[in-house]
Amino acid sequence: MRLFREDLSWSLPEELNKGAILESIERVLGDMEAPNTSLEDWRYGRVDELDLSKYKVVNPHIRSSNGYVSEWISRWHELGSDAFGVEIVVEDFESVCQGVASDTVLTANENDASSAEAVLDQQEPFHYLSKLLSTKKTSIVVGDSSENSSVFLGLLAPDVDGAVFARDLHIKVPNYTKGVLALVREGGSRDSLFLDSISVEVGRDAELSVVVLQNLSDGAWDLSYYDSQIDQGGTLKSLTVSLGGDYSRLRSVSSLHGRGAQAYLKAGYVAGGTQTMEFRTFQRHLAPATHSDLLYKGAVAGSSHSIYSGLIAIEKGARGSNAFQTNRNIVLSESARADSVPNLDIQESDVRCSHASAVGPVDADQRFYLETKGITTEVAEKMIVSGFFRDLTESVQGLDLSSLVLESLERKW
């Protein structure tokens, strides 16, 4: 892959071994074709516009936040310490901890080339790069036997032109425990590139409720990866909210490894201007009697573009599993566009699977009804779009941030 071999000779922080990184890139990527729109996994997006030569890898300094992180921290406090006993704020993996319970563990370990090469996918070299270029792998263990073990993470990036932010975060919920996590990603400049890797491990009969808010700078590029592994009887309830970035692409893989594992996967996204938001999801059923239910909802305005491509994969041995996948989009302008491509791959019998997608404008009958009540067209459309997103917060129990999530979405239209 000549693009990576030449253009990744960036200036690197002292924490990184430049020689080892470039040697790994040469050995692993070789002459692999760079991601481009002729490849199936990238054909709907804008990866052809990506010019890696203009970026440099940085190890950013701590900075205070006056954006969503501060607002979410404030709301966290308003909810009361009885409901949320744990608070951790992480800013680019330098940590500020307050009232951290003894059952919450935060560690930072050196990353190396071998851990990066372990995740290499021939279609997804940016995942490998995110592991390779992150200076630390930050691991968090959250969860106890009560309902009140919760963690807040704020991942901030300073305004540095041409910066690459590669961050590697691992979250673990031990067997037979329950945990709650809120994660906010924000900051960067108009020329930032984010290569974040976030992995979640839900133990046996454990449960995790998680909300992730992405509000990166308007011109940033975001090529990030979420990976979840769910053991026997474990449950993951997740909500992803995407608002920022010029081009934001999230690849999410949820693997149900143990009998009876469950995943409830929701996302809300709002794109405006010339934004492109792309989501590639994989629901992988690897054990009997597993259950997954995915609901992604988006609104596109201006000349923006949203892309959803999802795959339900029922592997051999996953007999008796149920899997559902739904993507719905509201188009708010004539120039906006939404693509939706659901897929099934079933290798086992005695399963229930379905997928559905819908793309359309604001419902004219709903708008007319509201207008007959004296509500202006503009306000009526805002009410309809707000109601469209409202059911996304229902499954994330134990984290009463529903109003804040909806407010964050509503600011975009």
302-354 pLDDT, tens per residue? 999 999 999 999 999 999 999 999 999 999 999 999 999 999 999 999 999 99
pTM of the predicted model, to two decimals? 0.85
Give Dmax (Cα) for the chain.
69
pLDDT higher than threshold 70 for residue 99: no
Extents of the domains making up the chain: 57-362, 363-413
In angstroms, rounded to a whole number, what is the distance separating the alpha carbons of residues 200 and 203? 10
Instruction: Say what the pLDDT of residue 11 is.
Output: 53
Residues 157, 255, 293, 332, CA torsion sign? positive
Is the distance from CB of 372 to CB of 341 less than 8 angstroms?
no
Which residue did the predictor score with more confidence, 22 or 60? 22
Neighbouring-strand partners of residue 112: none
Cβ contacts of 380 within 8 Å, gap of 6 or more: 366, 367, 370, 371
Q: Helix, strand or coil for residue 74?
A: helix
Residue 5's H or E segment, with its range, is: helix 2-7
Kindly indicate the confidence band of residue 75, based on its pLDDT and cuts at 50, 70 and 90: low
Q: Helix, strand or coil for residue 289?
A: coil
Pairing type for strands 221-230 and 247-256 reads parallel
**Per-residue pLDDT tens digits for 49-73:** 988 777 877 654 434 444 555 565 5
**Per-residue pLDDT tens digits for 78-96:** 544 333 333 444 433 333 3
Which residue did the predictor score with more confidence, 134 or 368? 368
Which residue did the predictor score with more confidence, 246 or 55? 246
CA dist 310 → 121, 142, 164, 370 (Å): 17, 29, 28, 34
Which residue did the predictor score with more confidence, 382 or 288? 288
Out of 108-112, 142-146, 258-262, least confident range: 108-112
pLDDT higher than threshold 80 for residue 29: no
CA dist 302 → 142, 221, 222, 305 (Å): 41, 19, 20, 9
Residue 6's H or E segment, with its range, is: helix 2-7
